[in-house]
Amino acid sequence: MTTPPEPVEGPDPTPPEPVEEPTPPTTPEPVEGPEPVLEVAGLSVAFGRRPPSVSGISFAIAPGERVGLIGESGSGKSVTALAVMGLLPEYARTSGVVWLAGEQILDRPDAVLARLRGNQVSMVFQEPMTALDPTMKVGRQVAEVIGLHRRRAGSGHVRARVLETLGDVGLADPARIAGSYPHQLSGGQRQRVVIAMALVNTPDLVICDEPTTALDVTVQAKVLGLLDRELAAAGAGCLFISHDLAVVSQLCSRVLVMLDGRIVEDAPLDTILTAPEHPYTKGLVATARIDRVTPGERLPTVADFWDETSPEPTPPEPTSPEPTSPEPVEGS
């Protein structure tokens, strides 16, 4: 007697339902100023029959502009980043448009996306081992990134460039680092290597998904300072994902606030800090101001400002601390 086969885990076999979201424009909206390096219009992403993880979001990033994408766990930040990188799994259903360096990339063939990745857009993930091959020495991995996009460079030139690149990101003894396997480096050293790899081909846009969350606080501050310098040197724009407004405020001039797959606020950093509009943003701002809480006092939580169960939330008046003017951000 045969037993019926076990159900196979995996993508939902039922035919995909269309993602019901605003009809995307076929061309990007005209924007003032220089052409954006990234423009997202009406982007929705859904997996299986679940409600969309990302629902009709739109934003643009100008050349060299740094935009923070902030929101609670599961709000759709990483899915947004993966959509922009063309790295969503095949079973993801998408609608809308994503223009990267003038090309529409949603649902484009892998070859097109591979060309754009590294040249036009690169990514720094939370866990540096995601981007590193554990079986290959670090120097060779950096060389591959350089070689991939600069095929004509001779190998001597590439080696010199690798050592220079590793030195530029503050790694002492670049020759030793180049000859090491990733597991022989510390977390901070690995993230420096990944940042070097992300910026070495001077992309127009670097997407950073919680790049310092896995690092301890001291190393985190150094790596943020490094990112700041490297982005400025490359003139690269940045989409910087974090759940931490304090971290975003060190690098970004504009902030997108994401909640349940939607962008609920898009404003300059100063406005977000001094005059947040959405109750959720108000909560984020208040909770980020731990410097103003006296010892023993309860820290406010976002829930004090945003009741997820209520469709039309009325935020309570913050008791303490009062969200007033932003603290000046120390240069990093």
Ligand X SMILES: Nc1ncnc2c1ncn2[C@@H]1O[C@H](COP(=O)(O)OP(=O)(O)OP(=O)(O)O)[C@@H](O)[C@H]1O
Residues that bind ligand X (CB under 6 A): 47, 53, 71, 73-79, 89, 243
Phi-psi region at 70: left, alpha or beta (left = phi > 0; alpha = psi -120 to 50): beta
Cα–Cα distance measured from residue 13 to residue 10, given in angstroms and rounded to the nearest whole number: 8
Which partner in Mg ion, ligand X, none is near 53 (CB below 5 to 8 A by kind)?
Answer: ligand X
- Of 79 and 272, which CB lies nearer to ligand X in the complex structure? 79
Which partner in Mg ion, ligand X, none is near 128 (CB below 5 to 8 A by kind)?
Answer: none
- Of 94 and 165, which CB lies nearer to Mg ion in the complex structure? 94
- Of 61 and 92, which CB lies nearer to ligand X in the complex structure? 92
CB of 75 to ligand X, least distance (A): 4
Bond from prior residue into 321 cis (ω within 30 degrees of 0): yes
CB of 43 to Mg ion, least distance (A): 16
CB of 211 to ligand X, least distance (A): 12
Which parts of 11-70 interact with Mg ion (CB under 5 A)? none
Give the H/E segment covering residue 168.
Answer: helix 155-168
- Looking only at Cα atoms, what is the longest distance across the chain? 74
Between the alpha carbon of residue 323 and those of residues 8, 193, 244, 267, 293, the distances in Å are 51, 38, 16, 16, 11
Q: Which two tokens stand for residue 116?
A: 């754009």
**Contacts for 274-279: CB closer than 8 Å, 24+ residues apart:** 274/323, 274/324, 274/325, 274/326, 276/323, 279/305, 279/306, 279/313, 279/314, 279/315
Which parts of 62-101 interact with Mg ion (CB under 5 A)? 78
Which partner in Mg ion, ligand X, none is near 159 (CB below 5 to 8 A by kind)?
Answer: none
CB of 243 to Mg ion, least distance (A): 8
Which partner in Mg ion, ligand X, none is near 74 (CB below 5 to 8 A by kind)?
Answer: ligand X
The verdict on 242 binding Mg ion (CB under 5 A) reads no
- Of 148 and 246, which CB lies nearer to ligand X in the complex structure? 246
CB of 125 to ligand X, least distance (A): 11
Cα–Cα distance measured from residue 82 to residue 331, given in angstroms and rounded to the nearest whole number: 30
Cα–Cα distance measured from residue 241 to residue 68, given in angstroms and rounded to the nearest whole number: 6
CB of 277 to ligand X, least distance (A): 21
- Of 189 and 191, which CB lies nearer to ligand X in the complex structure? 191
Between the alpha carbon of residue 95 and those of residues 15, 20, 101, 265, the distances in Å are 16, 9, 19, 21
Of all residues in the shown chain, the one whose CB is closest to Mg ion is: 78
Cα–Cα distance measured from residue 106 to residue 80, given in angstroms and rounded to the nearest whole number: 12
CB of 317 to ligand X, least distance (A): 28
The answer to whether residues 188 and 210 touch, using CB atoms and an 8 Å cutoff, is no
- Of 161 and 262, which CB lies nearer to ligand X in the complex structure? 262
DSSP-based three-state secondary structure for 242: strand
- Of 13 and 33, which CB lies nearer to ligand X in the complex structure? 13
CB of 80 to ligand X, least distance (A): 7
Question: Could you write out the DSSP letters of every residue in 34-72?
Answer: SPPSEEEEEEEEEETTSPPSEEEEEEEE-TT-EEEEEE-
- Of 74 and 235, which CB lies nearer to ligand X in the complex structure? 74
Which partner in Mg ion, ligand X, none is near 19 (CB below 5 to 8 A by kind)?
Answer: none
- Contact residues: Mg ion, CB under 5 A: 78
